[in-house]
Each structure stands twice: as C-alpha cells, then as structure tokens.
C-alpha cells in the first residue's frame, strides 16, 4: 500500500524543435513521460506533465522560408502536427507550452531580469567558431566540434551567463546526490562534464543575425539564446512568475542523451542563479537507431510511424518502444522484432489468456464468477506486483525491470491455466479457478496500463472498475459478457 501519496508530481518532456514533423525519437520521449504519468496515476497521484514546442531560432526561420510561409505560420503548423501525433499515441500532456506564447515570453523576460538583478549576466565580445547546425558557439578550437556541425567564424557582442560562479556548488551537488541523474551511466557522464572546467556561456545573439526570437529586456539589438528561451518553458508552462508554479517544483525532466549538458549543467546553474529549486530528477534516454544511425530529420531515415500505427495499433507501437529500449542506451528499431513482439507477447500471451478465460466460462454457460480466496501461488503473484510498485514509484531507474516483468507475470497466469487444466473443471472448482485468474488478470492489467492504455481501458471497462490500483484490488464478482479481441492477429 502506498500511503505517501504526494499532492502533485511535475514532469516534463523536452520541448520539440519546430523545424520539422515528429519522428519516432520524439514519440519515444513523449511515451516515456506519459508512461510515468500513467504509472503514478494508477496509484492516485496527480501528475502535471508539460510538453510543447521550441519555436524560435534560425533553423525554424529557414524551414519556414523553404516552405514558403512566415515563421509564425510554420510554427503553428508544426505545433498542430506534434499535438495530433501525441493524440494518436495516447500521450496525455497537461500543458502544451509554445515559446511563442505570450505568457512564455513574459516569463523569459522575468527570468532574465532576475539573473541580471542577481549579478549573473554581463556583456562581452565573442570571437570564435559558431555552429550553424546546432546554433551554438563552439568551445575550444574548431576541432572540438562534431563532424555534422556546419561552422562559420564569428566576431560579435553578446551577453554571457556566469556559469563559472556555480561550478563548485554544482559539482558538490552531484557528488552528494547521485540519484538525481538516471541511469547511472548518464550520471557518470554528467560528472565527466566537469573535468575540463565549465566556462561562462553566451545567452544572446545579435538581432540583425537572428530576428526570430525574444528580445533581451532593455536591449533591442539582442535576442535571447534559444536554449535559455527553451529551458524557461519548464517554468512558464506552470505559471511562473506567478507564485502557483512553486507548488510543483522541483521537476522531473525526461530528455535524450544529446541534450544532457543543457539539462544537467546549464539548467541547474540557471535555477541556482534565480534562487529556484534544482531538478528532482533527470531521466536520460538513448537514441532510436536505424541500423547504427540515429534516426533524425536531417538524415531522412525515419521509421514510417503511420504504417505501424495502422497495421498494429498504438498499443503495440508503445509496447515495443517502451519494452525494448534499455533506459539510457541506444536501440535499433527492428521490424521483425516488432512483429514478433506483437504476435508472440500481445496476441498469444495477453489477448489469448483473456479470451481463453472468458471462452471457458461461456462454454460452461457461466454468467457470473463469484468470489474465491486466492491460493498461495496467486497470492504471491499479487504480492509481487504490489512490492514492485513500491520499489518503482519512487525510483524510475527500475523501469527496465518493470517492462521485463511483463512476460514473466503473464506466463505465470498462462501456466496456471494449463497446470490446473481449468477447461476440464466444473462446479465450485471451476468457479474458484476462474475467479482467481480473472482477479489476477485484472491486477496485472491495471499495473500495465502505462504500457497498453487502449487494451487496459477495454479490459477494465469489461470488469467495471476504474483505472486505479486500489480499486482494482477490491474483490467483486465477475459478470461474463461477450468475449473481447484485445490484439487482433495479423493476417
Ligand atoms: N528543443 C530542444 C529541447 C529543448 S528542452 C528545453 C530539442 N528538441 S528536439 O526536437 O531536437 O529533440 C527533442 C527530444 O527528442 C530530445 O530529448 C531528443 O533526445 C529526442 N530525440 C530526437 N531524436 C531521437 C532519436 N532518434 N531517438 C530518441 N530520442 C531522440 O532538443
């Protein structure tokens, strides 16, 4: 029993670059957040989940030009495209923040002014290499850039943030709070970022070069750097600077490994500078690969989302993504494995178990299955789920174990049906076995709502219980109705 139900939990996905349509990597980030939200919700916790769009910057301007529309028209299109993609995938965010929203602009202004007031912003000249592809100044010489960077030499004035003022405090913080970055490999990477020493970084660009952005307060010649603009969305979406946002902090941020430095170094330092609480957790995932290449819009190697959705349904897609990627590591998308997962696990183990149980009851003309005490075997099944819930709810680093347990648990129930030869039983023996199995299937289903929301909604609707773990645990008779096909087999 989880008795420490906290009032609110605040989670965020990164906000997505509005320079092209969503692909599998974006969907995965969204699904991971959504799974975590749903997992907390089944235990009665209220989760606020922010997602949205990162709409300023040069790349967005260029994409708009290429598509023959204004930047604003283009970001409106992209925002709708991401929103409908998330709706199809059952990603249920609570706030959709866009960096072109008025309330966001006001929050960025306020945030900037706070940093300025606290003495952490200064103006300086930048001379060095600039990456056009990533829109950032390259630290060190031009050989420290990535092979994919398109670079140019720049000499210009801009504002800097005094990151160096936070180096020791930040390092100390990570040394004493190892659990903040998960998984552990990404924590080690975070510590590694301090090795060469941190440098102050530029937080604005000359407006003549980049007009599509938020102006620096009090200096109309400069525009705020996209990353400061973007990171503040984690605050603006929950009402900053009005005081209600405080109740939700600290936040749990989900992100891909490519943006670790921005979240593990820049963001906490900016929060310190603004006297705000540091993130509660950074949950860092790896990349979906096609072969051994990162799937990305620039490489044009995306997986055809539409095909998988139409052929297998959104649950199958979500299940494949969430149960095959080890948190923090890269994973290659494999069509054969996808098909095999869907058939051998979802159709044959889960769907089949449910229709087998209903089928047996119907073949014996049973309309109602009445309460029976669980036997030892199935008591331990329920206990295993309960114990694991407590282990997972406060420590997302156990998420891989949660997805791995799926097959193990459903197998226990399938083996039980076979060992007891339930279809050969009759009278009380049949009723009791069916009751135990249906009860455990109900608990199993609610526990895996985060992985299979569509199917679980159907199952819980059939059992007439809402999506809540405690409610599902209550004992009540099962009314046998028409059988359900949860995961249709592919022809
Ligand atoms: N706009 C920034 C984030 C600002 S957050 C304050 C950004 N946007 S993005 O659209 O490029 O990426 C959004 C998320 O998608 C990131 O977490 C990124 O890691 C993730 N992915 C993009 N491609 C990916 C894969 N191929 N695989 C998994 N996730 C990857 O970065």
**Token couple for 258:** 């490519």
At which residue do the structure tokens 């997302």 appear? 396
- Interacting residues of 49 by C-beta distance below 8 A, sequence separation 6+: 11, 12, 13, 33, 34, 37, 92, 93, 94, 95
| Nearest partner of 125 among 157, 159, 90, judged by Cα | 157
Contact criterion met (CB below 8 Å) for 445 and 459: yes
* Per-residue pLDDT at 147: 59
Nearest CA to ligand 1 atom 21: 25
Taking CA atoms, 325 is separated from 196, 318, 332, in Å, by 31, 11, 9
- Smallest CA separation from ligand 1 atom 6, residue: 231
- Calculate the CA 62 to chain-centre distance: 28
Pairing of strands 281-285, 288-290: unpaired
* Nearest CA owner, ligand 1 atom 15: 26
- Residue 14 CA, ligand 1 centroid: distance in Å: 7
Cα separation, 449 vs 472, in Å, equals: 12
Kindly give the distance from the C-alpha atom of residue 210 to the centroid of ligand 1, in angstroms, as a whole number.
22
Distance (angstroms) between ligand 1 centre and the Cα of 55 equals: 14
Per residue in 293-338, pLDDT tens? Answer: 999 877 777 888 889 999 999 999 999 999 999 999 999 999 999 9
Count of CB atoms situated within 10 Å of the CB of 334: 13
Distance 29 CA to ligand 1 centre (A): 8
C-beta atoms surrounding 387 within 10 Å: 11
**Those residues with Cβ within 8 angstroms of residue 262's Cβ, 6 or more apart along the chain or in another chain:** 227, 231
Ligand 1 binding pocket (C-beta < 6 A) is: 14-17, 25-26, 28-29, 54, 230-231, 233, 255-256, 258-259, 287-288, 294-296
What are the 10-residue block averages of pLDDT along the chain, 491 residues in total? 65 96 96 97 96 95 94 98 97 98 98 98 89 73 59 90 98 97 97 95 91 96 96 98 93 97 98 97 97 83 88 95 97 95 96 97 97 96 96 91 97 98 98 98 98 97 96 97 88 57
pTM of the model: 0.94
Bridge partners of 54? 17
Determine the angle formed by the axes of helices 399-420 and 376-393, rounding to 10 degrees. Answer: 170
In angstroms, the CA 110 to CA 201 distance is 20
The answer to whether residues 212 and 71 touch, using CB atoms and an 8 Å cutoff, is yes
CA of 440 to the centre of ligand 1 (A): 38
Give the distance (Å) from ligand 1 centre to CA of residue 162.
26
Q: Report the half-sphere exposure of 400 (CA within 13 A, side-chain side).
A: 11
Strands (E), 251-318: 252-256, 281-285, 288-290, 293-294
In the numeric block, which tokens belong to residue 449? 């709502």
- Structure tokens that stand for 233 in this block: 């969305």
Atom of ligand 1 nearest to the CA of 256: 19
Q: What is the pLDDT of residues 73-86, one digit of tens each?
A: 999 999 999 999 99
* pLDDT for res 132: 74
DSSP string for residues in 304-343: -HHHHHHHH-HHHHHHHHHHHSPTTS-EE--HHHHHHIII
Contact 398, 405 (CB under 8 A): no
Taking the C-alpha atoms of residue 50 and residue 238, their distance in angstroms, rounded to an integer, is 8
Measured in Å, residue 356 CA sits from the centre of ligand 1 at: 42
From 260, 223, 217, select the one nearest 107 (Cα to Cα).
217
In the three-class reduction of DSSP (H, G, I as helix; E, B as strand; rest coil), residue 178 is classed as: helix
Residue 145 and residue 128 in contact, taking contact as beta carbons nearer than 8 Å: no
Q: For residue 59, report the phi and psi dihedrals to the nearest 5 degrees.
A: -65, -35
Distance CA 24, CA 301 (A): 10
Cα-based distances in Å from 176 to 33, 35, 168, 280, 459: 26, 29, 12, 13, 45
* Contacting residues for 276 by C-beta, under 8 A, at least 6 apart: 235, 249
Which one of 98, 258, 325, 328 would you pick to mutate in the ligand 1 pocket, going by the greatest count of ligand atoms within 8 A of its CB?
A: 258
């Amino acid at each position: 029993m989880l008795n420490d139900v906290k009032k609110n939990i605040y989670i965020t996905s990164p906000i997505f670059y509005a320079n092209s349509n969503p692909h599998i990597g974006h969907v995965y980030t969204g699904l991971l957040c959504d799974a975590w939200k749903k997992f907390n919700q089944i235990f009665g916790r209220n989760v606020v989940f922010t997602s949205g769009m990162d709409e300023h910057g040069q790349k967005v301007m260029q994409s708009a030009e290429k598509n023959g529309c204004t930047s604003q028209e283009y970001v409106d299109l992209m925002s709708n495209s991401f929103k409908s993609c998330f709706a199809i995938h059952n990603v249920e965010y609570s706030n959709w923040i866009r960096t072109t929203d008025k309330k966001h602009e006001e929050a960025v202004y306020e945030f900037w002014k706070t940093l300025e007031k606290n003495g952490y912003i200064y103006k300086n000249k930048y001379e060095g290499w600039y990456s056009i592809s990533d829109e950032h100044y390259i630290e060190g010489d031009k050989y420290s850039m990535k092979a994919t960077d398109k670079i140019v030499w720049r000499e210009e004035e801009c504002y800097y943030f005094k990151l160096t003022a936070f180096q020791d405090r930040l390092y100390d913080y990570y040394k004493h709070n190892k659990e903040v970055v998960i998984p552990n490999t990404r924590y080690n990477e975070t510590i590694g970022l301090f090795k060469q020493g941190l440098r102050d970084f530029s937080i604005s660009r000359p407006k003549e070069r980049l007009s599509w952005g938020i102006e620096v307060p009090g200096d109309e010649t400069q525009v705020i750097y996209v990353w400061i603009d973007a990171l503040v969305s984690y605050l603006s979406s929950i009402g900053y600077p009005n005081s209600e946002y405080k109740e939700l902090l600290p936040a749990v941020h989900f992100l891909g490994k490519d943006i670790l430095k921005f979240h593990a170094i820049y963001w906490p330092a900016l929060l310190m500078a603004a006297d705000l609480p540091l993130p509660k957790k950074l949950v860092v995932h790896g990349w979906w690969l096609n072969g051994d290449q990162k799937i990305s819009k620039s490489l044009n190697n995306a997986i055809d989302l539409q095909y998988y959705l139409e052929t297998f349904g959104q649950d199958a897609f979500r299940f494949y993504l969430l149960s095959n990627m080890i948190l923090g590591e890269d994973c290659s998308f494999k069509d054969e494995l996808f098909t095999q997962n869907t058939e051998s696990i979802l159709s044959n183990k889960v769907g089949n178990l449910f229709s087998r149980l209903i089928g047996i009851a119907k073949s014996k003309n049973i309309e109602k299955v009445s309460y029976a005490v669980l036997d030892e075997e199935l008591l331990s099944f329920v206990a295993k789920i309960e114990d694991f819930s407590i282990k997972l709810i406060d420590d997302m680093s156990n998420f891989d174990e949660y997805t791995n347990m799926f097959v193990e648990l459903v197998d226990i129930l399938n083996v039980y049906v076979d060992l007891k030869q339930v279809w050969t039983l009759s009278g009380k023996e049949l009723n009791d076995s069916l009751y135990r199995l249906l009860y455990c299937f109900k608990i199993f289903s609610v526990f895996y709502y985060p992985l299979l929301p569509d199917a679980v909604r159907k199952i819980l609707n059939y059992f007439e219980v809402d999506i809540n773990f405690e409610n599902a645990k209550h004992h009540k008779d099962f009314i046998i109705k028409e059988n359900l096909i949860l995961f249709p087999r592919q022809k």
